Amino acid sequence: MMHRDIEDQEIIERYVRNRLAPEERQAFEEHFFGCEECFEKLQLTERFIASLDDAGNRGLLDSAPASATPARTWGYWIFPAFAASSCLAVVLAVVAGWTLFIQMPQLRRQLNQTSVDVSAQREAISALQKQVTSSALAETNVPLVMLQATRDAQAPPNDAVLSRDAKHLTFWIELPSSTSGSFLLEIASPDGHLIQTLENLKRNNYGAIVVSLPVELLQSGMYTIKLSRQEPSPVTLVAEYRLRIRRP
């Protein structure tokens, strides 16, 4: 027995209403025992007709005789319902697939990126807290070097020995009383790269310029320090210093 014959001949409805010939009934039973689709339609039809019969018994339906109902009424109700259910199942499958294979990976990637960003922020905050704590602590025995201008390349340079615990190195640069204005200090590494520029420096009450640099900027080697008068313009070189850094 074919599905098309079952639908065209309203086999399911007739089976439920016990209106099939014995050979038709036997053929249909052999079919739906092995066909899940027809078995589900049969169960749905049985429940539907049972509900209608119950409603009729309660007087909820017209008192018109059952024979007045068009022969294909059940087919018009049942099979469109199956079609609608199938369409709904397809739509739900598409939505579930889109959620599983597209939206969920995107959400996982966003969650992973957020986790990475949060970790980076925590590390930055931790580093900043350590820096603030370190800067808040008093530092003793701060290395100090009083720079002397170097005119002769053969003259010994200024020396500074940095201990392992040192955090800063302080430069003390004395100037003639006749030198006034603001100053520019440039520090170049042993390979000639400019590592620090300090502008608009002023002399203190002792007539000297005092600068403190973090020792992270200074590795072992020979550094060149240039002091220029920035104001009044033009910028003019005042003195040049050679500084040898030694670290254990």
Q: Does 208 reside within a domain?
A: yes
Q: Does 85 reside within a domain?
A: no
The confidence score (pLDDT) of residue 84 equals: 62
Q: Does 62 reside within a domain?
A: yes
Give the residues of the chain that fall short of pLDDT 70: 1, 59-91, 93-101, 131-138, 151-153
* Cα–Cα distance, 62 to 202 (Å, whole number): 107
* SS3 at position 143: coil
Q: Which one of 69, 93, 111 terminates a domain? A: 69
Q: How many domains does the chain have?
A: 2
Q: Mind listing the pLDDT tens digit for each residue in 82-134?
A: 566 666 666 676 666 666 667 777 777 777 788 788 888 788 888 777 766 66
Clarify whether residues 56 and 150 are in a common domain.
no
Cβ distance 198 to 182 under 8 Å?
no
Q: Which one of 69, 88, 104 terminates a domain? A: 69
Q: Does 232 reside within a domain?
A: yes
Angle (deg, nearest 10), helices 73-98 and 36-57: 120
Q: Does 121 reside within a domain?
A: no
The confidence score (pLDDT) of residue 101 equals: 64
Q: Mind listing the pLDDT tens digit for each residue in 154-172?
A: 788 999 999 888 999 999 9
Q: Which one of 18, 53, 69 terminates a domain? A: 69
Per DSSP, helices labelled H in the chain are 3-8, 11-16, 22-32, 36-57, 73-98, 104-136
HSE at residue 118, side-chain half, CA atoms within 13 A, is 6
Phi, psi of 233, deg, nearest 5: -70, 160
Q: Does 98 reside within a domain?
A: no
Q: Does 125 reside within a domain?
A: no
The confidence score (pLDDT) of residue 68 equals: 46
HSE at residue 183, side-chain half, CA atoms within 13 A, is 23
The residues, ordered by sequence, that sit 6+ positions from 142 with a Cβ below 8 Å of its Cβ are 166, 167, 168, 169, 170, 212
Look up the CATH number of the domain holding residue 166.
Answer: 2.60.40.10
* Cα–Cα distance, 155 to 202 (Å, whole number): 28
* Cα–Cα distance, 217 to 144 (Å, whole number): 16
Q: Does 20 reside within a domain?
A: yes
Range of the domain at 58: 3-69
